[in-house]
Structure 1
Amino acid sequence: MGLLSGSQRMGAAALLLAASTILSRLMGLVRDKIISWQFGAGSEADMYFAAFMVPDIINSLLAGGIMSITMLPLLSRRFAEDEADAWRFFSCVFCWMLLASLLATGAGILCAGPLARLTAPGFDAAQIARLAFFMRIILPAQVFFLCGACMTALLFLRRQFRVPALTPLIYNGSIILGGLCLPWCAQALALPSEWELGGMSGYCVGVTVGAAVGAFWLPWRVARAQGLHLEWRLSHPLFRRFLLTALPLMLGQTIILMDEQFLRLFGTMLPDGNVSLLNYARRITQVPVGLMGQAAAVASYPFLVALVTSGERERFDSTLSTALRASVGLIIPAAVWLGLAARPVLTVIFQGGRFGAAETLACTPLLQIMLAATPLWIIYMVLVRAFYAGGDTITPAVTGTVMTVLALPCYYFWAVPHGAWAISLVSSGSVSAYVLWLMVIWWRRKGGGAFAGLGSLALRVLLCSLPAGAAAAWAQSLPWGAWCAARLGGPLPPLIDALLLLAVSGGLFCLLFAALSWRLAPEVLAPVLRRLQRRKGAGPHAA
């Protein structure tokens, strides 16, 4: 079967990726829940989260996270013109990616000690040694991520999203399994003290195993079964063009790519536990972003590329506008409610074991500050792919790098002295400013067709969310726990109390938001209503 023979509607692809994203985010929260239960917000967890800094930078330097974006337009055209030569071009890219990833990760493993001191300036000597050990375990995962990204690009080209949808599930599952099982195996095998029972080493091993199986082996196996032709090749006439397209993404370390690394880097300059608290808050923040933006952005990209290639400008703007409006219409009420319910949300997800009420209280304002930027995160995920679909990788890279340079002194000279809340504020502010800048650039170059009605929708959705949020906040202020405790003869456990608050305030928020949006923003509810009508219409026939 030819690689280009399959096709999938964008809606079906988005639903598939959305389902994968939901499961992946849930597994990610389970993973972090286990880590927080075992290690809380302490030194060992700080070192684990900081260990990802260098591997993630290597991945972004080699454009691994966006390999499909840079390769798809060129590979798509080449397959349409000459399939045999397209395979030669793909082989050239893959071979160079393999060599570059091996060299970069090898250098990282050899220089783990100095790199640990550079990326965690607030850690002491013992923490640096432990951090370097973690880094050496995690770094090989980048070889599998980067080479696997090439295979995933082939699957995206065919518009086959099933296998890529499995990747994050396998990855998170491996981390959880490694963290829970390896310490006991290490004790049974009498491995060195670095692998001690209760340490983070098992989670690090799970990272590399999950990358090997989920990110590389499975996509490679499926691509091979569907006609993959791979040969050793280091030159191709199209490779230079590919390199010029990818180079801005490699050299341009945008504020989006560096955001998580800055939280880790500057968090190490604060007392122990702050890296973990910032990480936990960001994890929850990225759940609605992933659920409502990532699936739509990834699924829409191959279609945007096809529309650019065929010159259908109006359909391009319409597709982009649909993705933007659908994502923004959902993220605003989600962010408002999550911000108001931050404390019970953190209680349910993380509190327990070594993560106590004090850690929940400290993490709450960090989460609330980061949630303020989530609508802009959603817009970025969709809009940046519109730039890439048109072959423009320079604009997002240059503007993002400029914003990174501007943010650095804000982090170091202002945020670090003021603490973790200030680091969260600089993070949200710099990301928001960058995305607004990109929107202005797009508007000036391409016109406002993609943003038609977006501002009006966002305002109307916000107006619906605020009264619903006020009602939810009032509901949370009522002594539900005391009432239940009086009837049950004892205080409720914190988890049950938090779940009760979330159920009452969340239900009230949804009811009021639905009622208000029915009048002010009916397009937000329209997809749900259409689905209900289709099911109702299908009822008699099914019977």
Structure 2
Amino acid sequence: MTSSHGQMVRSISAASLIMMGSVLLSRVLGIVREMVLAGMGGTSAEMDAYVAAFLLPEFLNHLLAGGFMSITFIPLFQERLQQGDAPGAWRLFNNLLCAGTLVMALLVAAAWIFTPQLVALLGDRIGGASPAQVTRLTRIILPAQIFFYWGALLLAVQFAHQQFLLPALAPLLYNGGIILGGLFLGRWLGVEGFAWGVLVGALAGNALVQTLGLRRLRPPLTWVLDFRDAGLRRYVWLSLPLVLGLGMQFSNEMAFRIFGAPLGEGALASLNYALRIMWALVGLFGQAVGIASFPFLTRLAVSGRLGELNQVAAGVLRRLLLLVLPVSVVLMALAPEVVTVVFQRGRFTAQSAAQTAPVLQWYLAGAFAFAAMTIVTRCFYALQNTWLPMVACTAVALASLPLYAWFSRLWGAPGIALAGSLGALVQLTVLSWLWVRRHGSQTPWTPLGQGLWQALLAAATAGGMAFGVRSLLWSVDALATWKTSYSHALVGGLAGGAGLVAGGLVLWTLGAPEARQFLQKWLPKKA
């Protein structure tokens, strides 16, 4: 890797650290949200109703590609800016804002009217929940999708200008709204209080605050509603495969609801809790790095510098591999402690923790694949190629459906988590092969092969050390009889710390430059 490429990777790493800090705060708040939900709802039928109520709203958000706005909008926006066509870039923004709002409002209104009929079509896919309760909660959450669409566009235009501060507040305010809704309204409304918190949090974090970021850019805002505009048509063409396809996160969110509901009361809730923890890890590393690196990758792609794009992606993926794999294995070894400390209070009992921990372990088995996919897919998206990765991912997701059905019958909820992790690993493998095949020897995967054995050895050492220390500590009579959240936190903290130190020392010994650069920042410098 040349010095300029290394400098760009370091720049991405610096931006990633900023995003990791903000994502860490939002993920911590997200875990607090799940803790409050677990304390009030446990793994009850009422909690199943809350989880099921997101099915229709999330489908609408997916239908309008709200979750993919940055992926499709940023390359188009930056392309116009680099061509010196700033008016054209902002015209595209205005047209997307007006046209998308109109379409989303019509979809939300139709879904709100026909919610009972749509919930009835789900049948036993709502678990042990009451259809009437799912209908009411769904209708409360539905209007939030308009705010999410606004937020997606406002965040995308700020990311295109490498402004991350106010976008980082969106998930904080959203999760804060849910928590406050549950705490202040839950006493009278139960889980419905959380649903009202979803609506308020979406308005505050994705609409109101993000307008402040838009004002800082001083855009020429005008009313534009032109469905024949070439830029809008290009956006639709790039977004269409993301809407029609089954992406990594969307397919997992849908799969656990579809195959988890028939497993009985509490299965949906335990899958949801475990998936939130796994997404927290993926979000902290994969999402943060993906958000920070995408503007850099897009600029290289727009400039036609594919070789540099490959080398930058190589450095990013290698660092991700060496970091996520050992951490995820340590968390697998300590899954019972993690679930107990995070969730066990109120109606979330020791039995609920025992039900959720194995689900978390199997989701964590695929954590690196989930995280790496956020980078690999962005390599394609930077080239404005959304069709190939989504066709490949959809094919893998559809092929995985029999696996979900089979594993859920064999092992219940943990089987669903295992099927999801295997699917993510296959998706990553297929997309990597496609990239190599299309772009020849200029690929970002060579450093991954060089670092894979280092990461695997570090992960095995870290996981083994964590599990060994955990077993040793629980053999102490005082800890074994004092089984509270505090004892689990003590055991998890000591065992996890020992595991991570052991894994880090392995990487240091094997000469991984990333480990040496990290440790040298903390070691005292020689005089």
User: Cα–Cα, structure 1 residues 127 and 424, in superposed 2: closer, same or farther, change >3 Å?
Assistant: same
The yes-or-no answer on 1:234 pairing with 2:225 is yes
Cα shift readout 1:392-431 (whole Å, capped 9, x = no counterpart): 0001111122222222333345524652122222222222
**Counterpart code for 1:292:** F
**Secondary structure of residue in 2 paired with 1:269:** helix
**Secondary structure of residue in 1 paired with 2:444:** helix
CA contact (8 A) 1:53 1:119 kept: no
Q: Which moved more, 1:515-524 or 1:106-115?
A: 515-524
Q: Which moved more, 1:113-122 or 1:390-399?
A: 113-122
1:132-531, aligned counterparts within 5 Å?
132-183=135-186, 197=188, 199-235=190-226, 236-412=229-405, 415-416=408-409, 418-447=411-440, 449-480=443-474, 482-484=476-478, 491-531=481-521
The Cα of 1:258 is off from its aligned counterpart by 1.7
CA contact (8 A) 1:460 1:521 kept: no
Q: Which moved more, 1:34-43 or 1:464-473?
A: 464-473
State the distance in 2 between where 1:477 and 1:126 align. Answer: 39
Q: Who is 1:54 aligned against?
A: 56
User: Cα–Cα, structure 1 residues 305 and 125, in superposed 2: closer, same or farther, change >3 Å?
Assistant: closer
CA contact (8 A) 2:344 2:350 kept: yes
Decide which of 34, 37, 40 is 1:38's aligned counterpart: 40
**Secondary structure of residue in 2 paired with 1:478:** helix
Cα shift readout 1:178-222 (whole Å, capped 9, x = no counterpart): 1111245xxxxxxxxxxxx25111111111111111112211232
The Cα of 1:225 is off from its aligned counterpart by 3.9
State the distance in 2 between where 1:400 and 1:337 align. Answer: 28
The Cα of 1:529 is off from its aligned counterpart by 2.8
User: Cα–Cα, structure 1 residues 85 and 468, in superposed 2: closer, same or farther, change >3 Å?
Assistant: closer
State the distance in 2 between where 1:359 and 1:430 align. Answer: 26
**Counterpart code for 2:499:** F
**Secondary structure of residue in 2 paired with 1:114:** helix
User: Cα–Cα, structure 1 residues 527 and 127, in superposed 2: closer, same or farther, change >3 Å?
Assistant: farther
Q: Who is 2:6 aligned against?
A: none
**Counterpart code for 1:63:** A
CA contact (8 A) 2:331 2:338 kept: yes
Q: Who is 2:31 aligned against?
A: 29
Cα shift readout 1:268-287 (whole Å, capped 9, x = no counterpart): 11111000000111111122
The Cα of 1:17 is off from its aligned counterpart by 1.1
The Cα of 1:443 is off from its aligned counterpart by 1.2
The Cα of 1:325 is off from its aligned counterpart by 0.9
CA contact (8 A) 1:144 1:212 kept: yes
Q: Which moved more, 1:167-176 or 1:235-244?
A: 235-244
- With the length of structure 1 as denominator, give the TM-score of the two structures: 0.90
State the distance in 1 between where 2:159 and 2:484 align. Answer: 45
Q: Which moved more, 1:79-88 or 1:340-349?
A: 79-88
Q: Who is 1:190 aligned against?
A: none
Percent identity over the alignment is: 35
Cα shift readout 1:264-320 (whole Å, capped 9, x = no counterpart): 122111111000000111111122211111111111000101011122223211211
- With the length of structure 2 as denominator, give the TM-score of the two structures: 0.92
Decide which of 65, 76, 86 is 1:83's aligned counterpart: 86
The Cα of 1:531 is off from its aligned counterpart by 2.8
**Secondary structure of residue in 1 paired with 2:522:** helix
Cα shift readout 1:438-470 (whole Å, capped 9, x = no counterpart): 111111112353012202312212112213322
**Counterpart code for 1:129:** A
User: Cα–Cα, structure 1 residues 356 and 66, in superposed 2: closer, same or farther, change >3 Å?
Assistant: same
User: Cα–Cα, structure 1 residues 354 and 519, in superposed 2: closer, same or farther, change >3 Å?
Assistant: same
CA contact (8 A) 2:335 2:360 kept: yes
The Cα of 1:365 is off from its aligned counterpart by 1.3
CA contact (8 A) 2:127 2:268 kept: no
User: Cα–Cα, structure 1 residues 16 and 146, in superposed 2: closer, same or farther, change >3 Å?
Assistant: same
User: Cα–Cα, structure 1 residues 13 and 511, in superposed 2: closer, same or farther, change >3 Å?
Assistant: closer
5+ residue gaps, structure 2: 1-9
User: Cα–Cα, structure 1 residues 405 and 515, in superposed 2: closer, same or farther, change >3 Å?
Assistant: closer
User: Cα–Cα, structure 1 residues 497 and 478, in superposed 2: closer, same or farther, change >3 Å?
Assistant: same
5+ residue gaps, structure 1: 1-7, 185-196
Q: Who is 2:4 aligned against?
A: none
**Secondary structure of residue in 2 paired with 1:238:** helix
CA contact (8 A) 2:330 2:500 kept: no
Cα shift readout 1:28-53 (whole Å, capped 9, x = no counterpart): 11110111111111111111111111
**Secondary structure of residue in 1 paired with 2:241:** helix
1:84-163, aligned counterparts within 5 Å?
84-119=87-122, 121-123=124-126, 127-163=130-166
State the distance in 1 between where 2:123 and 2:422 align. Answer: 23
Q: Number of aligned residue pairs: give it.
A: 514
The Cα of 1:530 is off from its aligned counterpart by 4.3
**Secondary structure of residue in 2 paired with 1:434:** helix
Q: Which moved more, 1:303-312 or 1:384-393?
A: 303-312
The Cα of 1:480 is off from its aligned counterpart by 4.3
